[in-house]
Chains A and B, each alone.
Chain A
Amino acid sequence: MFRVTERSNSFFSIVLILTGVLAILPTNWLAWTRDLSDIVRLPITPVAHAGNRLAGWLRPVDAVDGMNESDLRERMIVLEDERDRFKRLYHALQLRTQDLSAQLGLLQGLPDRMLQGPRPPLILPTDVTARDPGDVVSPVEVEVTPQIDERVNVGDVAIWRHEYLVGRVASRSSFRVTILPLAHLDTGPFQVAVLIPGQEEAGLAPPRMLLNPLGDGSFAGEVDHRHGTLPGSQVVLADSEWPPWAQALGVGVIESVEQIDEAPLRDLVIVRPRIQLHQLPEIILLASDEDPMTLTGELKP
């Protein structure tokens, strides 16, 4: 057996008991641990940041699902075609919106400013400085650049490659911005649309459902059986509670569809993200680009 001096032993026992008590303190009594963590991070973050960059360089994250080079080339061609089609649709919709806004303005006598669409967001790429690579739903922290410090707010969204929604800003301070993954239980349920192949061309509206994070990195939701939802279908965000620029960003892919015995007209759908937040060495934050003016045109103090 090992021996320690009696005095040191009793002091250490007290420290251990205190540690045990700290571990079970109520969550709302532990806000001070954030300050303690800010002190701990001072020497750790630079090395961890460098390690994350090195890890990202050594093992880049991709979402190509094992496609070879020719598959990727074909996919690029399809994507370019789609991009051009959506550009045309976007411009047509912009013109239509302008027409409708003008008509609505005439009818209601509202100022033009009230009828303008949301401004495009600020795009703020940033490096992940700390993550727990073994925990699928662990929050990550990102580098706080002056622009991020100034513009990012709680609730802003984190994306990857302008295509996938990966998380949301959970807390921010001058030292840290913490992003909570989309699949974290605390993110709560959100509404999505299912893009079933073939239905878009047929002009059918995509079915919507409420997705609930399961805590293991995946989501579950229920959808009407008559829509014929298929595994492999893409799921995109369609929730008005989220910022407008987050709409239609990819959430994941349907992994399985099972008819519910108790409710045969409903299907239980399991959705898995193509990419998890904790895998990424860098992300993009989309922040509101609102100028400091009120809707009536006055400058905010």
Chain B
Amino acid sequence: MRWLVFMIAALLATALDLGLASAMTLRTLDFLTPSFAAVLVAYTALHGRADHVLWGAWVIGVLADLSPGSAEGAEAIYIIGPHALGYVFGASVILTIRSMVFRHRVLTLSACTFACVLSTGLATVLTGIIRFWLPFTGGAVVPFGLGELGHSFGDALYSGLLAIPAGWVLFQTMPLWRFDYGVGRRTA
């Protein structure tokens, strides 16, 4: 995988999540919002070398955790972890199943994006719960609860839908990436 291409795509996806994604927010449905970054994680996880995929997912996660707009609380603190760990977990799941799926299908990418966003939601909720219960963390800074989990599920579904057009665009850029993972099921 070409890291320069990856870094440009990662910065662009993070910026799109902070900007253009608000044009797609479902205002009447609890502000469900799709994630471009999750689509990118799923895309690289389907095609890249395993170690590259995991590092890439971590980098995108850290970018998302540190990106402007994700600050928590009145002190504007950035918690590094919820996205970084969530995307790595999501990428690991995709790496485990990718030899059994049609990797070049947009629908596969859509399902994998769903898994990525859901795993990020789980990581966020777990971080929130741990921060809430540990006496030294300074209280509940990361939101958690069933509502948060439900919201993540909605975001995951919506991101899966976004992955269909966004994935098509990503598949057109395939030669630029020079992925070196060649084993797996392909459609004829």
Number of interface residues of A (CB under 8 A): 68
| Docked complex: A1-18 residues within 8 A CB-CB of B | 1-5, 8-9, 12, 15-16
Inter-chain CB contacts under 8 Å: number:
198
In the complex with contacts A24-B130, A37-B68, A133-B33, A19-B22 CB distance below 8 A: no
Instruction: Identify which of A2, A15, A53, A216 gathers the most chain B CB atoms within 10 Å of its CB.
Output: A2
Chain A residues, Cβ within 8 Å of B63: 40, 44
User: Are B19 and A178 in contact, CB atoms less than 8 angstroms apart?
Assistant: no
User: Are B81 and A130 in contact, CB atoms less than 8 angstroms apart?
Assistant: no
Chain B residues, Cβ within 8 Å of A138: 69-71
In the complex with contacts A40-B63, A47-B16, A33-B80 CB distance below 8 A: yes
| Docked complex: A132-150 residues within 8 A CB-CB of B | 132-141
User: Are A44 and B14 in contact, CB atoms less than 8 angstroms apart?
Assistant: yes
The CA-CA distance from A66 to B188 in the complex, in Å, is 51
Looking at A54-62, A73-81, A242-250, the stretch in contact with chain B turns out to be A54-62
Asked if A126 is at the interface (CB within 8 A of a chain B CB), the reply is no
Asked if A300 is at the interface (CB within 8 A of a chain B CB), the reply is no
User: Are B18 and A44 in contact, CB atoms less than 8 angstroms apart?
Assistant: yes
B interface vs A, CB < 8 Å?
Answer: 11-12, 14-16, 18-23, 25, 27, 31-33, 50-51, 53-55, 58, 62-63, 66-82, 84-85, 88, 95-96, 98, 127, 130-131, 134, 136-139, 141, 143, 147, 151, 155
Partner of B67, one of A4, A9, A41: A41
Nearest to B54 among chain A residues (CB) is A12
> Can you list 12 contacts pairing A with B, beta carbon distance less than 8 Å?
A2-B50, A2-B98, A19-B84, A23-B85, A37-B66, A43-B11, A45-B68, A55-B19, A138-B71, A171-B76, A279-B22, A281-B22
Partner of B147, one of A49, A51, A130, A216: A216
